[in-house]
Structure 1
């Protein structure tokens, strides 16, 4: 029985089951009772199950995995990158597996994990891989993390960004906001980036809510681009925000521009959380520490890593099953 099947039997989410099994995060007493009852009914033993699934009954094998960063290596240095690797590592440690970290060089050379036959599976985070690299990845189990990267192969573990957009709208509605706005980027690709999924959830909630809503879209800017570029985009956003009549009293920054927008608002003597309620993006994005008093988004990277490891072990056991997309819960953190 997988944690997905256990979640279904318990009547709770997969993320809730994983939090309880890994003792990582809050789980209500009611949910614990349901999960324990389902475990008892199905003779579910998590640690033994993981070891059997990873190695095979009677055939112990040292498993070797690679965490491959497919884009800028600095992405691994964010809080989310750190938490994801912690989550994967904790599960790998239970089964005695090895985990190494690698990345794609700008010169296009092939990372060792893609040519090394001892690599049993690859965790991927970042942009699409060049065709030659992708063809090599497809030869072994792969799990994509978060929402970027190729959707044609590999399983995927990502936060429920659409649901997060819904939560952001409802949160501002509960705060008594009368006119709210979601700040995102213009969509210029076929695949939906995380910030667009958040926008879609926000707009969906707005259609059924009582609070007036709108959105401001800007051209996409890489979070790793220069601070000056991001500052200029924030100035343009706040210009547009001030032209809306009446000016929104609540904003949801769905992308990574929260700290720059926060700084520009203060520069214009508009105080976030006083003059305008602000949900300003992921708590570990670049520069987000500058506006710690706003509402933050916690996508729970460690939980994503743990679930990704579970997904990898399930894939090894069932190599021919259809690819699966797993969603984890994200939460809003009030100051």
Structure 2
């Protein structure tokens, strides 16, 4: 079978291979008539039609990127699976970019993907600035966190869900409830902190030192919990801003000889599969992870296909999932 090469394209278009390369990569100036000849040669030779020709003739790559801040957090692979399934159903290629919530890394990915005529982006970020977002010339959907009020987003009711989590601990009979918070630059972490404060800030026992940052990381949360429980042994309830940190909190309590849930009830937020595998299993405010990932992809594809960038924001509801890390006080043996 004849497999055309870039030299064949150059020969048919009567240009150099360097010119063909510039046309394919979108680098450097190429006269419009020359570009048309190269495009026609690619079409005639059927040279990489599913990728390059589509970009040249339709101006689209059928490629969508998902930016996540921490691929080591099991929440994001679960989210990515939903986005991938939805994009594949609509014939799009899916690219996953781990950014470490580093703006420079995000910009590097964006610049590289622009060369591939990226069609749209789904972004989970706490660092991407409004100024940079406005300069992105393809549709963008914010997922999990709100980047800017003018941008379409898919999130959950973080503040209300957190209120429910803390109230649940109170209803169990917890007298001193603390919080392991997420990164202060993350909108959802701030909303979860606000939900916690809504319930406890007027309590006579509340202290600001009942709040420790865990940065959405396992090790940071483990250290934060150790500090918190060592400083305040009276704490008998703990609301943790995500499940990965919740597992860290359980391990910290275990290391300190504190029994869960007999001495300390722990509830977290996310609903990832990891919470079902810990000992004890983790009570959580479960997000509909698959639904929000799929919906973000669906909204983005609608913007791409219909060529409109109207901001459309949707908020899903979290649900309490009771497991073994919490127990009513009178139920203690």
The two structures have a TM-score, normalised by structure 2, of: 0.63
* 2:124 is the counterpart of 1:125: yes
Question: For residues 106 and 280 of structure 2, what CA distance do their matches in structure 1 show?
Answer: 38
Aligned to 1:143: 141
* 2:266 is the counterpart of 1:266: no
The Cα offsets for residues 31-55 of structure 1, whole Å up to 9 and x where unpaired, read as: xxxxxxxxxxxxxxxxxxxxxxxxx
Aligned to 1:16: none
Q: Is the 8 A contact 1:172 1:180 kept in 2?
A: no
Aligned to 2:32: none
Question: For residues 287 and 106 of structure 2, what CA distance do their matches in structure 1 show?
Answer: 32
Question: For residues 333 and 263 of structure 1, what CA distance do their matches in structure 2 show?
Answer: 20
SS in 1 for 2:294: helix
Question: For residues 203 and 116 of structure 1, what CA distance do their matches in structure 2 show?
Answer: 46
Structure with larger Rg: 2
Structure with the larger RCO, 1 or 2 (CA within 8 Å, 6+ apart)? 1
The Cα offsets for residues 269-310 of structure 1, whole Å up to 9 and x where unpaired, read as: 321111222214445498995444231332232111111023
* CA 1:202–1:271: 2 relative to 1, 3 Å: same
Aligned to 1:332: 320
Counting matched residue pairs gives 258
For residues 65-144 of structure 1, what are the structure 2 equivalents within 5 Å? 65-69=63-67, 71=69, 75-103=70-98, 106=105, 109-111=108-110, 112-117=112-117, 119-129=118-128, 134=133, 138-144=136-142
- 2:177 alignment partner, one of 171, 175, 181: 181
CA-CA distance at 1:143 after TM superposition: 0.7
CA-CA distance at 1:121 after TM superposition: 1.3
Question: For residues 179 and 61 of structure 1, what CA distance do their matches in structure 2 show?
Answer: 61
Q: Which structure 2 segments of 5+ residues have no match?
A: 1-57, 324-333
Q: Which structure 1 segments of 5+ residues have no match?
A: 1-59
The two structures have a TM-score, normalised by structure 1, of: 0.63
SS in 2 for 1:296: strand
Question: For residues 301 and 274 of structure 1, what CA distance do their matches in structure 2 show?
Answer: 30
The Cα offsets for residues 114-156 of structure 1, whole Å up to 9 and x where unpaired, read as: 2333x221111234247996465x20111111116x3266311
Question: For residues 314 and 153 of structure 2, what CA distance do their matches in structure 1 show?
Answer: 6
CA-CA distance at 1:201 after TM superposition: 1.5
What root-mean-square deviation, in Å, do the aligned CA atoms of Structure 1 and Structure 2 show? 3.8
* CA 1:203–1:232: 2 relative to 1, 3 Å: closer
The Cα offsets for residues 247-281 of structure 1, whole Å up to 9 and x where unpaired, read as: 24322122553233322323333211112222144
CA-CA distance at 1:183 after TM superposition: 0.8
CA-CA distance at 1:106 after TM superposition: 4.7
SS in 2 for 1:257: helix
